[in-house]
Structure formats: structure tokens, C-alpha cells
Structure 1
Amino acid sequence: MEHGSLRQFGNSDLQLSPLGLGCWQFSKGSGMVGKFWPVLDDDVIRDIVRISLEGGINWFDTAEVYGGGQSEEMLADALNVLGDDAAGIHVATKWWPVMRSSANIPKTIDERLRRLKGWPIDLYQVHQPYSFSSATSEMHEMSKLVKLGKIKHVGVSNFSAAKMYEADKALRESGLRLVSNQVKYNLLDRRIERNGIMEAAKELGVAIIAYSPLEQGILSGKFHKNPELIKHIQGPRKWAGSFKPEGLKRTQPLISRLDELAVKYEASASQVALNWLIHAHGETVFAIPGASKPQHAQENVKAMCFSLSSDEISELRELSASCGR
């Protein structure tokens, strides 16, 4: 992959592709959140990782809570099979804080590293703002891990603007900075533009990692064209309001425009929606679409092969404001 398509990740020294691969779906159906996805065969996981790499993605986002470490292991196995082809990639994972205190951070880091089978943790994130400890004490423990060389950079996930400032301030005490906040963000869910999170990210030089960048597949337009598909969705997402007839009707104008732009760029609606995300705020936003089939991985990487014009970015911004949250 040519170096020009990488960008600086927040205020870190990491150079990452604008898209990473979200690896929640590698949970093997285990654990609390693993049930959300069908169980994928090992060779399917390997294909998804390989296609992502070949298409220019150079980082992968996983978490302790995805199958209780299963996703980390499956990702590590796939990378290890790829050998030299995976050289230079970056792994992001997350510590699960719920019902725990910051004292758990040093206690569980070796287990994270064991699950990742030799792959270093370039970004370690606090997965949620809810724990028995303050963000400040969590960041102090994270700083110690950086000093010990167990992780390279510190990020957070689902943190409010106020919590981002608190985390960054605590990290600065050790000469570090907060590098990212992973939050839900897409054309139909732009709440971070209104609640101060995007503003804080730009002010602090923090990268935004957008999860659910296609709003559970709604932005692909496939459910608008064939509502019958909703019956076949596995897991709880089919009950979301966006999938109800009135939800589909509300978002139809945006989907129609994504389809028109897709024709222009020889792309798909999903690719146009992802392209908007990674260009609408300069280089602040990175996105992590998942992929549970090799063709999804193929779809993802093509979203980095073109750039919408500034007029098109503005037009989609206005159109989405009338159909989203």
C-alpha cells in the first residue's frame, strides 16, 4: 500500500489507514456480546483479514469483551498465518471497565498480550466510561503500562467531551496524550457533532474512531430495496427503529442520493457513506466497519479509493440532518 494513503492518528506517531477493520464479529459466538454475530469459520476470518490488508487497511480493532478474548485470538491467528504480509500492521484492543476498578488494568494486561500471541498493542482503550474508578485513575494505570512498554498509546471509547478532557489532563501528567475516542458515528447518527465530542476531539488533536459507520447496514440501502431481508437478520438489531417501515421511509431520501453518487464513483452506497465519514472532518475521523463475509471486506477497502467533492460532502451533511439523529 502506498504510504500516501495513510494519515496521522490523532496526536500519536502512528500512521494509519482511514479505515480499520472492526473485529467484534470474530467472537466465535461466545460471551455476552459474541451472540450478536453468527459464528465465523477460521478460514473465513483469515480471508477477511487478508483482503483487508491487501486493500490497504493497516490496523485492526478488537476488545477483551468480544467473546472474552476470542476475537483477539482469532485476529492474532489470522495475522500469524499471513506472516510477512502482515508486517507493519497495528492492533487496537480494549479493557472492559464495567464492575471493575482501575487496579484491574495492570492485572489483566498480560492476558491481553497472551491472547494476541505476540502482536503488540499499539492502542489500548478504555471500552466504556462506567467503572468503579475515575477516568483519571484509569489513565494513571494506562500511563504505567506505556512506561513498561506493554502498550504504545492510550485511547478511550464512548467517553463524553468532559471525560475526554479529564483523561487527556491525567495523561499529560506523565508526558502522554489521549490519542483517540471510539464512538458511534455515521450519516444517520451525528450526535457527536452536537454534544461536544467532535469539538473536543478537534481541540485536543484526538482521533475519532467511528464504530457502526453504516448504522447496522441501513446505509447500504439493501433493506430499503428489499425490506424482506429484515426478517432474515440474526440477532437483536432487526428490532431497531431504523428497520421499521417508518424508519426506512424517513431515511429514503439520503439512500437515494447515496445511490446516485455511487453510480458516479463506480462504488456502492455503503462506500459513499464510509467515504463521507473519513473526509467530512479533515483527517479527524477514522472508521471501523466490520465484515462477516470476505465480500464485505472487499466492499470496505474500495471506500478508500475515491474522494467525494466538498459540495457532495456538504450536500450529504444537509440531507442526513433531515433523516437522522
Structure 2
Amino acid sequence: MGGSDLELSPLGLGCWQFSKGSGMVGKFWPVLSDADIASIVRISLAGGINWFDTAEVYGGGRSEEALADALNGSGASPADVRVATKWWPALRTAGSIPRTIDERLRRLKGWRIDLYQVHQPYSFSSATAEMNEMAKLAKAGRIRHVGVSNFSAAKMREADKALRAHGLRLTSNQVKYSLLDRRIERNGILETAKELGIAIIAYSPLEQGLLSGKFHRNPDLVKGLKGPRRFSAGFKPAGLQRTQPLIERLEDLAAKYAASPSQVALNWLIHANGDTVFAIPGASKPHHAEENVRAMTFALGADELRELAELSELCGKR
């Protein structure tokens, strides 16, 4: 991943949905049973996923705990599994980073933090101050690598420069990226990542399920959506009509590769920019985890990657 020594599968598992319904952020997802969480993690590991992304703000640490319990129950070895988590900066200063690291490690129940990320760019401290504190943790062996999330190109440069002063490098920037949201290709984030050797971790890689095609095949499913998704323009009739040509091509390629439209969309994401982009689809049901891992079993051709990119542009969505 990036310029680090982390050897990660192109897909990791996003663990926001393990929040147990706790806190404002955790209420976005239904409460998953311990058995389902264990099954999702076990299927992910068996399918070749070797890293998991969680965060302090996901249920106030409940996601970290649930992930740790599932990993411990799976018999997975720390030598083979990597864990990424995030510090929440809002209404805090950089001094919170060393003060809260013990809590992160306690929640993770013995699993080390291979990648510690600043969750978003808004805090009472500068990115430089935050990176200085992250560097101290890395040098003390409390974390292995440093990443950020939702940082602009300029903020990425600031963070990487600060880490260089400590003999370190910024490993990653976690941002929203999918066939239906390609803003990072136009705002300098992807270009800067490639220039500096920083990995992009794509969250919402299936645009909250829109790229699965199921809402295009059966628009009545939109009525059953809960949470913010049901208000998104992409799920409205005009939005579904606008993205229909892309979905139809995803379905064609899915038939060719004995895959699903979701798997083709994920495959595009992890191959369209060489080794720069990793992705973290979530899974709230065991069969979602099975879907995720099968996306790593084939590779779209160069012409197919280009065609999907062109259709994506025609959709006119961000």
C-alpha cells in the first residue's frame, strides 16, 4: 500500500456496519448480531481479504470491539491480518491523539494498529500538528503507519511533508470514489496521490448499493430504504434512468465473467489506476462478504476499463 511495507489485498472490509447501532454514526446501519459479524469476517478472510478498516467514531469504539472479537474467534493470526482504524478530530486538538491511543488499543483487544488515520480534516489543530503526534506514536511502536481520510490534495501534501521531517511518509488517503463519484480524478487528489506514492482507499465504492443494479431492475426497492440513502438523487427515478446505460454494461460484463454488476464495479475500481487504489466495500450480511471476495477473482481488460469509464462520464453524476 503506497510507499509502506503493508502488503494488502486490493479489497479490504469496511466495518462501519459493526457499530451495533451505537451513537449517531452507528445508527446508520441496523444492529448486526455477533454471529453475523463473525461470519462476515470469516468469509472475508477465507476469500483472501487480509485487512479491515474501522474507526473510533463507528459506535464510539463498538465497531473496533466487534471486529476484534470476530478476528479472535476466527483463529486468524496477527501475522496475516492488518487492522486500520481512525482518530476522530472534530472539536479536538492534536493532543487528543496520544491521549486516546490507549483506548483504541483497548477496544482492539490485542490487535495492533497497522494503519492509523485522521478521519477528516476539520479539527482545532493543523494537519502538521496532527502528523507530528502520529509520528511520535509510530516511533514508539504504538502504530505502524499513518494515513488520512477526506483530505484535499493540498492537505495531503502538508501531511506528507510533516511526516517526512520525521523520516516517515503518508501511506494513504481514504476518500469517496466509485464509478458514480469520480471527483478525485478532477480535484487533484488522485493525481497528487500518484505523484507522492500515496494510496487511495475508496469508500462507498458501490455508491451505497446503486451500482449493484438491483434498484434499476426493481425501483420499488427504493421505497424500503432507510437512512439518508432514500433522499439521494441517485435513487430517484430520474437518477436511475440517468445511470441505466452504465448498469446495463456492468450486467453484460457480469455475464461474461460469471460475476455480478457489483463485482464488476469493484473490479474496475481496483484496476483502473494500477496499484494506487484500494477499496473497502462493507458487508451487512454474510452473502455481501461472499460478493466482495469474488470481485478479486478476475480482471477486466483495458478496453473494458476504458469503456466503463466513458459510460460513467456520460452518467453526469459528480
TM-score normalized with structure 1 length = 0.97
**5 Å matches for 1:40-189?**
40-84=32-76, 87-189=79-181
Query: In the alignment, which of 262, 267, 278 is matched to residue 270 of structure 2?
Result: 278
Which deviates more from structure 2 when the two are superposed, residues 81-90 or residues 126-135? Answer: 81-90
What is the rounded CA distance, in whole Å, between the counterparts of 1:285 and 1:64 in structure 2?
23
Look up the SS of the partner of 1:306 in the other structure: coil
Counterpart CA distance in 1 for 2:225 and 2:113 is 33
What amino acid does structure 2 have at the position aligned with 1:82? S
Q: 2:296 aligns with which of 300, 304, 320?
A: 304
Distance 1:69 1:234 in 2: 23
* TM-score, normalization by structure 2: 0.99
Q: How does 1:224-243 map to 2 (within 5 A)?
A: 224-243=216-235
- Distance in 1, Cα, partners of 2:92 & 2:125: 8
Residue identity in the other structure for 1:210: A
Q: Secondary structure at the match of 1:122?
A: strand
Give the deviation of 1:85 after TM superposition: 5.8
Distance (Å, rounded) in 2 between the aligned partners of 1:135 and 1:32? 25
Task: Give the counterpart letter for 2:273 in structure 1.
Answer: H
Which amino acid letter does the alignment assign opposite residue 256 of structure 2? K
Q: What residue number does 1:3 align with? A: none
Residues 73-111 of structure 1 deviation map (CA, whole Å, 9 limit, x = unaligned): 000000001124665100000000000000000000000
Matched, 1:252 2:244: yes
The DSSP-based 3-state class of the residue aligned with 1:68 is: helix
Question: Quick check: 1:53–1:86 contact (8 Å CA) kept in 2?
Answer: no
- Classify 1:72/1:224 alpha carbon distance in 2 versus 1 (closer, same or farther; 3 Å): same
Whole-angstrom CA distance in 2 between matches of 1:86 and 1:58: 10
Q: CA RMSD in A?
A: 0.7
Distance 1:84 1:21, change over 3 A: closer
Q: Secondary structure at the match of 2:159?
A: helix
**Cα displacement (A) at 1:66:** 0.2
1:33 aligns with 2:8: no
Contact 2:78 2:111 in 1 (8 A): no
Structure 2: distance between partners of 1:204 and 1:43: 41
Paired-residue identity, %: 76
CA distance in 1, matches of 2:7, 2:275: 12
Count of matched residue pairs: 317
